Amino acid sequence: MRKLLFQKHLLGTGGSRLGLSTNDKISVENLLYGLMMVSGNDAAVALAEFISGNIETFSNLMNEKAHSLHLESTHFTSPHGLDQDEHYTTAYDLACLTNYALQNDLFSKIVKTQNRTVYINDQPRQLNNTNELLGYLDGVYGVKTGFTNGANRCLVTACKRGDLDIICIVLGCDTKKDRTKDSINLINYIFDNFSVVNIKDLIQKEFNNWNTNNTNTFIVNKGIDQNIIPTYSETQLPYQKIAVKNSDISNIKIDIFCNSYYNAPVFSDSKIGIINTYISDNASFSLDIINSNTVKRKNINYYINMFLKDYFSLLTF
């Protein structure tokens, strides 16, 4: 495992520290644990300089990543986040960033670790996670505490119970006790008042019922047949499952509108209707209903064939 040589000029980093000294040797993995478990600002600087050579270049990489994740209200000037005017973010952006980061297996593993032995100069050092909710509140599996004089006490929490998986952001608390209490209250409120609803299954059930009731009701003027076959575009689903307030579940509404009369030809994959789904006042979306079968227009050959068919049937009779 590659080890970093900690340089003297990095020792001036303030705030919480892993406790590195001049010429210490430590692995990248152990630095990551020191960064995330005990908010090691010295570890953050060491990692930034290892990756990019200096803090400014690394901060530019962070800003490029924030831009790619559409974090429009976030800007970085350092890897550790100590107070600076041009270093800022929002609760919403933190939630989006956390959701992205948790998809990384190593990140997810580190932020859920309560206790860990790291090695500096091959000597063991015990780390205890500063996240007071780990091992205390049911379902919590991360993520990170934070404090600066400007930001006060902050806590980002990931919590999963059953199918409901949430990220809770608490910023600007005066004390650790306040951020713990506020986080617990918010988390328990969500799990007491929201449930996961499988929107995909609800739409499929409603569409199947509608399709059954509307079979053979389509009219295609001058079509060689009336075989319109409706389906809908699942790729337009913004999500398959969504957390819905319990009081709103019974009010979920799915409206299906589809044309019944067409002029041939009607091509496959053409839009013939729409499914509107209303979940709450601020959550709704639409799906296109498409025809999955082409209905051709009657032409001269069709009429000739029909005439010959009728003519020979009369001769046979």
pLDDT at 11: 53
Per DSSP bridges, beta strands 140-148 and 123-128 are unpaired
Q: Are residues 253 and 121 part of one domain?
A: no
Q: Are residues 103 and 67 part of one domain?
A: yes
Q: Are residues 265 and 165 part of one domain?
A: no
Q: Are residues 155 and 247 part of one domain?
A: no
pLDDT band of 1, cuts 50, 70, 90: very low
Q: How many helices (H) and strands (E) does the chain have?
A: 9, 15
The 10s digit of each residue's pLDDT in 102-143 is 999 999 999 999 999 999 999 999 999 999 999 999 999 999
The 10s digit of each residue's pLDDT in 263-276 is 989 899 999 999 99
Question: In the 8-state DSSP scheme, what is residue 10?
Answer: G
Q: What percent of the chain has pLDDT over 70?
A: 90
Rounded-to-integer distance, Cα 81 and Cα 139, Å:
28
Q: Are residues 164 and 207 part of one domain?
A: no
End-to-end C-alpha distance for the chain, whole angstroms: 91
pLDDT at 7: 53
- What's the average model confidence in pLDDT over 161-176? 97
The 10s digit of each residue's pLDDT in 75-105 is 999 999 999 999 999 999 999 999 999 999 9
Rounded-to-integer distance, Cα 310 and Cα 304, Å:
10
Q: Are residues 96 and 24 part of one domain?
A: yes
Q: Are residues 36 and 168 part of one domain?
A: yes
Residue with tokens 């091509």: 267
Residue 125: inside a domain, yes or no? Answer: yes
**Residue 203: CATH number of its domain:** 2.60.410
Q: Are residues 158 and 47 part of one domain?
A: yes
Rounded-to-integer distance, Cα 158 and Cα 139, Å:
8
Last residue of a domain, one of 142, 174, 206: 174
Ranges of H-type helices in 214-279: 246-249
Contacts of 313 (CB under 8 A, 6+ apart): none
Q: Are residues 163 and 19 part of one domain?
A: yes
Residue 317: inside a domain, yes or no? Answer: no
Rounded-to-integer distance, Cα 15 and Cα 144, Å:
15
Nearest CA among 107, 62, 111, 129 for reference residue 89: 62
Per DSSP bridges, beta strands 152-161 and 140-148 are antiparallel
9 pLDDT higher than 90: no
φ/ψ of 226, rounded to 5, equals -115, 25
Q: Are residues 166 and 23 part of one domain?
A: yes
215 pLDDT higher than 70: yes
271: which 2 tokens?
A: 């839009």
Q: Are residues 152 and 94 part of one domain?
A: yes
pLDDT at 309: 64
Q: Are residues 77 and 225 part of one domain?
A: no
Residue 310: inside a domain, yes or no? Answer: no
172 pLDDT higher than 80: yes
Rounded-to-integer distance, Cα 91 and Cα 97, Å:
10
Count up the domains in the chain and report the number.
2
117: which 2 tokens?
A: 């032995």
Residue 185: inside a domain, yes or no? Answer: no
Residue span of the structural domain in which 48 resides:
3-174
Residue 308: inside a domain, yes or no? Answer: no
Model's pTM, two decimal places? Answer: 0.81
Residue 215: inside a domain, yes or no? Answer: yes
pLDDT band of 24, cuts 50, 70, 90: confident
Residue 264: inside a domain, yes or no? Answer: yes
pLDDT at 237: 92
φ/ψ of 17, rounded to 5, equals -135, 150
CA atoms within 13 A on the CB side of 232: 24
Task: Give the three-state DSSP class for 50.
Answer: helix
312 pLDDT higher than 70: no
Question: In the 8-state DSSP scheme, what is residue 226?
Answer: -
251 pLDDT higher than 90: yes
- Does residue 104 come out as left (phi exceeding 0), alpha (psi in the -120 to 50 range) or beta? beta
pLDDT at 3: 53
pLDDT band of 26, cuts 50, 70, 90: very high
CA atoms within 13 A on the CB side of 252: 20
For the chain, give the mean pLDDT.
90
**Residue 156: CATH number of its domain:** 3.40.710.10
* C-alpha 73: how far from chain center: 18
Question: In the 8-state DSSP scheme, what is residue 296?
Answer: P
Rounded-to-integer distance, Cα 80 and Cα 252, Å:
44
Select the more confidently predicted residue: 4 or 60. 60
pLDDT at 315: 57
Residue 311: inside a domain, yes or no? Answer: no
175 pLDDT higher than 80: yes
Task: Give the three-state DSSP class for 32.
Answer: helix
